[in-house]
A and B are shown apart, each in its own frame.
Chain A
Amino acid sequence: MTRLQLEKADFEPLGIDNEESEKIVGESTSYWKDAWRRFRENKLAVFGVITILLLAIMALIGEPISGKSYNDTNIMNVNKTPSAEHWFGTDNLGRDIFARTWYGARISLFIGLMASLIDLVIGVIWGAISGFFGGKIDEYMMRIADILYGVPYLLVVILLMVVMPPGLWTMIIAMSITGWISMARIVRGQVLQLKSEEYVMASKSLGASNSRLLFRHLIPNTLGPILVTLTLTIPTAIFTEAFLSYLGLGVPAPRASWGTMSSDALSGFEYFPYQLFFPAFFICLTILAFNVIGDGLRDALDPKEGK
């Protein structure tokens, strides 16, 4: 057994470099950085993002690279199955389904995005104001939202579509009439909760104006739930567009959207299934992608759900 030899010098302090100890060795992780890391790790969500990006790129270049126009009819060449000439085949007017699919992607994605953006703007402002001021203002604003929520949504959309001239914006407006309410509710809930946080109090006592409080502190901190809701509103809008197409209230001809394309192909589905397959498949894919992105965002932005 050897004995441990200790000398006095061993007990001398090493000397502290103050600067050294203040250095942060690990990378600092902000909330957003952390969320981004978590999001990146979620393969499914990344797949969703890539899919949407690809779809968006194809929406832009798909029609040009096919070398055909979405509305170029050729009634001598109708209902042709996919071939080297027409990659997705032709429809009942001899139009190239590949070109139409990507032109339709443009319209469908545009409707989805615009309807969601309108919902976002109205919903965030309404919800934030309502939650921030509270009291009577809150009470009245929320009652108005409740009443609108009680209006049968489809009914309003159908009636509006009949009253207004057909077109893209008509459709988007009709969808937004009641679409913003759920967004407003979520934002309001978040604002109510954040309002009592210390940093808001501190800012307030330092004399920050209401608008500074709202736009600098409250709204940025509700971004998480807003993003999640947004990713789920886009598919709803695309879906509603498809439903309206089935009612014959969709995008006016000769324009195409995935909704009008699939509802037009429905009656010939037994004979020309490919005419239904392509638009329906891309509706599915888009909605799927947005859903997994939404799920991924929710997981990433909710620190409690760390794996």
Chain B
Amino acid sequence: MARYLLKRIGYILVSLLFIITITFGLMKLAPGGPFTSERKTSPAIERQMQEAYGLNDPIHEQYFNYLISAAKFDFGPSFKYEGQEVTDIIKRSFPYSLLLGLEAIFIALAFGVLFGTIAAIRHNKASDYTVMVIAILGISVPSFVMATILQFIFSMKLSLLPIARFESFAHTILPAFALATTPLAFIARLMRSSMLEVLNADYIKTAKSKGLSERVVIYKHGLRNAILPVVSYLGPLVAGILTGSFIIEKIFGIPGLGREFVESVTNRDYTVIMGTTVFFSVLLLISILVVDLIYGWIDPRIKLANKGANS
């Protein structure tokens, strides 16, 4: 187990090195720089700034400086926002994305599992179809369309919920739902098909024939086994959702991490690009690892040590 963990952490580090290198390369390739603006500054002033921010150093030196700063998790100040440290930007924006993300994951999981189970139990009945219509809608409407329509119906026309910003629980409902629709639909479909499979399995039939009540069979034996595919889907999902969705955050005016990242690319705010990328990658890689661990815990049949080779 310890060896396995070490090995996995080793891979995470290699992946990170790789990611930093790619990002650094792309960043330097991208035309324009942090000081490009519509109003050109005089060449002398631009030189002074390049110098002060170390952009005149040889490229390999800049690269190693980046590596070192990434290792220390200290990315320096933003180029665009005067005096704001990248770590502070992440620290202040991540909680928004985190809260919203957790809420969305909770919604997606709760409703997704519920819908999927209902659909499986009522296979080919009306409620099965209703649930699946919702699921398909969730998968097939682009999130920016979904967010705009939700906002329009629930805030503008029905005046039930606030339009935008992040000030109270009520403010989070719409963005969380908009964020949750796609994963919710996905989970519902996953859950439905795996639940169907499980319900047809021999051991469930045995349990039923032993006279256990329908409820016990479904909840005690069925769910535990049917939820496995959902768990494995959860890894990338968690990382993706927690680091914020640019679209949802922009439409609902939430100062989260997703916006910071996309905006840093447009601004060529090198330090912020690097910081958010590393942060996001670490989160993604760790959550994949955690999911693998949870997987082994739910289903002891899977031996972790072999997983790396067989996945």
Contacts and interface: CB of A to CB of B under 8 A. Distances in A.
B247 to A, nearest CB: 6
A247 B26 contact: no
A269 B277 contact: no
A245 to B, nearest CB: 9
A65 to B, nearest CB: 26
A243 B19 CA distance: 23
Contacts of A259: 142
Contacts of A155: 23, 261, 277, 280
Contacts of B156: 270
Which of A155, A269, A287 has most chain B Cβ within 10 Å?
Answer: A155
A1 interface: no
B14 A159 contact: no
B interface SS class: helix
Contact of A242 (B142, B262, B285): B142
Contacts of A143: 11, 14
Nearest to A269: B148
B265 A162 contact: yes
Interface string B145-156: 100100010001
Given A158-B262, A242-B142, A150 B285 contact: yes
A163 B281 contact: no
Interface string A217-257: 00000000000000000010001001100110000000000
A26 interface: no
B281 A151 contact: yes
A189 B262 CA distance: 36
Given A162-B30, A266-B145, A280-B142, A150 B19 contact: yes
How many chain A residues sit at the interface, stated as a range, is 35 or more
Q: Chain A contact residues: over half helix, strand or loop, or mixed?
A: helix
Contacts of A156: 22, 26
Most buried by A among B14, B15, B247: B15
A285 B142 CA distance: 12
A235 B186 CA distance: 13
A150 B284 contact: yes
Contacts of A171: none
A101 interface: no
Interface of A: 138-139, 142-143, 146-147, 150-152, 155-156, 158-160, 162-163, 185, 189, 192, 235, 239, 242-243, 246-247, 259, 262-263, 266, 269-270, 276, 280, 283-285, 287-288, 291
Interface of B: 11-12, 14-16, 18-19, 22-23, 26-27, 29-31, 136-137, 139-145, 148, 152, 156, 243, 246-247, 261-262, 265, 277, 280-281, 284-285, 288, 309-311
